[in-house]
Amino acid sequence: MEVVIISGLSGGGKSSAAAILEDLNYYCVDNMPAALIPRFAEICIAAGEDYNRTALVIDARGQHSFEKLFNALDDLEELGCAYRILYVEAEPETIIKRYKETRRRHPLDPEGRNIGEAVAREIELLKPVRDRADFIIDTTGLTLGMLQHSIVKDFLDGDNKSIHITVESFGYKHGIPMDADLVFDVRFLPNPYYIPELRHLRGYDKPVADYVLENPNTQKFLGYLEPLIDYLIPNFIEEGKHSIVICIGCTGGHHRSVTIAEELKNHLTASGCDAECYHRDV
């Protein structure tokens, strides 16, 4: 089991970091009391694979020291759990500006008297956690996309199963799917619609699939398409995408696009990807 401790300054971006890790299939819990971490880990271990990657947000709320956190981390090691600490911070001026913009109150300044003093106290309070952090991200000047890229780079293992791929066939006469990330037009391939015995079949039926796939143009097209998709997937993962939709279109969405979509899905699955096929217009 892997545990990521997300800590850092209030207003530094811990919630955003947790949301990004959640998109990477981490089970996230906000404001977890440090004393409960070992028991929570035991429950997750007993629950099985659904909870084998967990992210816990630990911050200054209610904390007077982090001795309980460090003791809990020692207990995690005894349970055989790997853990890493992600510390998120920003310049004090940026933190103050964010609180002013949101009109929220700092947890160490509930009366709203002096945010600057509260930020300084929090920096000092969290210093032992920062000193033990495996990753420190300064969000000053970072966009959400930049933060996502940084976290993905550090926490994604590069496994193709970390991204879900939908290969969708469609007919151009019904319009291009609105959620498409990539669109490929296969209307240049011979159309089984004009073969009487194939017209009422679909692209996943063997006679139609054989007719489409045995064409030299189809083989040449797949020879370009499959390596292109293989190249793109790691780059999508590095960018932080957790799902993509690849759309294959023909005229009606019954024959050629269906066959090519099925063939691409089979290729992706054989490559270890988490892929599914959907035929919108069948």
Query: What is the pLDDT confidence band of residue 158, given thresholds at 50, 70 and 90?
Result: low
What is the 3 state secondary structure string of 168-227?
Answer: EEEEHHHCCCCCCCEEEECCCCCCHHHCCCCCCCCCCCHHHHHHHHCCHHHHHHHHHHHH
pLDDT in tens, 81-101: 999 999 999 999 999 998 888
pLDDT in tens, 99-120: 888 777 888 887 777 888 889 9
pTM of the model: 0.67
> Would you say domain 2-155 falls under CATH 3.10.20.30?
no
pLDDT in tens, 232-273: 998 888 777 778 999 999 999 999 999 999 999 999 999 999
- Which of 169-200 are b and which e, b meaning 16 or more Cβ less than 10 Å from the residue's Cβ? bbbbeeeebeebeeebebeebebbbeeeebee
What are the domain boundaries of the chain?
A: 2-155, 161-279
